[in-house]
Amino acid sequence: MIHKGGWYNQQLNAVYHEMAEHYGTAIIPARVRKPKDKPNVEGSVGNISTWITAAMRNEQFFSLSELNRAIREKLEAFNARPFQKKEGSRLSLFRDEELPLLAPLPATPYELAEWKEVTVQFNYHISVGGMLYSAPYEYIKRKVNVRITDKTIEIFYNQNRIASHRRLYGRKGQYSTIVEHMPEDHQKYLEWNGDRFRKWAEQIGSNTHQVVDAILTSKRVEQQTYKSCMGLLKLADKYSVERLEAACNKALSYTATPSYKSIKTSLPLGRTSHQVNRLNRKPHTITTALQEVPAITGGKHL
């Protein structure tokens, strides 16, 4: 339970310290391998081992609950046994002296937590158990401490809680994202959804619509594809609707799942209307065509 420090500077591990805080208990650790620091505890452990374990050594039990019931009966009898050198018993000592001093239990039981240190990723999320939870984007690349329970994920930086999420279960790769954690330029994508991108793509052409649909379904979390869809559709402003539709058509002839990057790369290599007009004004010879317009084969100029 002590993870660092000597006799004069003892530090409890986070889980044990948190449990003590929850129950309002002060932990005063004994020294390692110093049984005289806690003689009553050490003596009672030995007595219980002898009196209970030895007494049941020849008995058979067929379930854990059956064994626990037998141990409880022996323990109650052990606590009720009179002391040999003073009046009373362990039970009467607890009832008369210790019980009146006990504080009431908290309203909720202590929930066991696991602590770990992680780094906030470039997309302002941390990964815990295959799920992703957001932290304020200002903490990107910083190490944070994460408190993990069955119900919640809490993120701490310099002992200050900076985020809290309900713990996710089920399919790996799910996101829990709080809008306030996102940079302003990312928040604008919240007003978009897959249907809006598909309708926009339909106005350009059927090939563009097919590519956008393929991008939207390429990842488990649709929102992760919105930036690629936005970039693809804005290529129409830079190169024209016709060239984008043609580039999507060509990309679909190679693969059913083209990417934004492949289409963006191919567009500057395509023919412009100015190049086509120049080509039409000259004799249509192979030599002239090769000089005027770079042909593309396998992504390389001929």
The yes-or-no verdict on residue 245 having pLDDT over 80 is yes
For residue 31, the model assigns a pLDDT of 72
- Percent pLDDT > 70 in the chain is 81
The yes-or-no verdict on residue 281 having pLDDT over 50 is no
Kindly report whether the global pTM for this prediction surpasses the value 0.95: no
The last residue of one of the domains, among 55, 72, 101, is 101
Q: In whole angstroms, what is the distance from residue 157 CA to residue 132 CA?
A: 17
Q: In whole angstroms, what is the distance from residue 202 CA to residue 194 CA?
A: 12
Same domain, yes or no, for 225 and 276? no
pLDDT in tens, 130-149: 999 999 999 999 999 999 99
Considering the chain, what is the average pLDDT of its residues?
81
Q: How does strand 131-134 pair with strand 175-176?
A: parallel
In three-state secondary structure terms, 161 is strand
Same domain, yes or no, for 203 and 216? yes
For residue 46, the model assigns a pLDDT of 78
**Quick one: pLDDT band at residue 110, thresholds 50, 70, 90?**
confident
Same domain, yes or no, for 181 and 203? no
Angle between helical axes of 206-216 and 194-204 (0-180°, round to 10)? 160
The yes-or-no verdict on residue 291 having pLDDT over 50 is no
Same domain, yes or no, for 177 and 200? no
For residue 205, the model assigns a pLDDT of 94
Q: In whole angstroms, what is the distance from residue 251 CA to residue 233 CA?
A: 15
**Quick one: pLDDT band at residue 298, thresholds 50, 70, 90?**
very low
Which region among 163-177, 257-271, 285-299 has the lowest average model confidence (pLDDT)? Answer: 285-299
**Quick one: pLDDT band at residue 189, thresholds 50, 70, 90?**
low
**Quick one: pLDDT band at residue 259, thresholds 50, 70, 90?**
very high
Q: In whole angstroms, what is the distance from residue 242 CA to residue 292 CA?
A: 21
**Quick one: pLDDT band at residue 299, thresholds 50, 70, 90?**
very low
Average pLDDT over residues 240-262: 93
Contact 259, 266 (CB under 8 A): no
Tokens standing for residue 39: 């003689």
**Quick one: pLDDT band at residue 235, thresholds 50, 70, 90?**
very high
Q: Is the dihedral of CA 51, 57, 59, 61 positive or negative?
A: positive
Same domain, yes or no, for 176 and 224? no
**Which residues span the domain enclosing 45?**
13-101
For residue 55, the model assigns a pLDDT of 84
278 vs 211: which has the higher pLDDT: 211
Same domain, yes or no, for 56 and 86? yes
Half-sphere exposure of 65 (CA within 13 A, CB side): 0
Same domain, yes or no, for 20 and 75? yes
pLDDT in tens, 26-42: 887 777 777 677 767 77
Q: In whole angstroms, what is the distance from residue 109 CA to residue 150 CA?
A: 13
Same domain, yes or no, for 39 and 89? yes
Q: Which among 127, 156, 123, 157 is positioned nearest to 137, based on CA atoms?
A: 123
**Quick one: pLDDT band at residue 275, thresholds 50, 70, 90?**
very low
pLDDT in tens, 58-99: 889 999 999 999 999 988 998 899 988 889 998 999 999 999
Number of domains composing the chain: 4
For residue 193, the model assigns a pLDDT of 82
Q: How does strand 160-166 pair with strand 125-128?
A: unpaired
pLDDT in tens, 192-205: 788 889 999 999 99
For residue 44, the model assigns a pLDDT of 77
For residue 155, the model assigns a pLDDT of 97
The yes-or-no verdict on residue 296 having pLDDT over 90 is no
**Phi/psi-derived region of residue 107, left when phi > 0, alpha when psi is between -120 and 50, beta in every other case:** alpha
Task: Please check whether residue 4 lies inside any domain of the structure.
Answer: no
Residues whose CB falls within 8 Å of the CB of residue 69, separated by 6 or more in sequence, listed in order: none
Tokens standing for residue 194: 């897959």
The last residue of one of the domains, among 76, 101, 126, is 101
Phi, psi at residue 165, to the nearest 5°?
-135, 150
Same domain, yes or no, for 141 and 152? yes
For residue 278, the model assigns a pLDDT of 40
Same domain, yes or no, for 79 and 49? yes
Q: In whole angstroms, what is the distance from residue 148 CA to residue 290 CA?
A: 64
Q: In whole angstroms, what is the distance from residue 30 CA to residue 11 CA?
A: 12
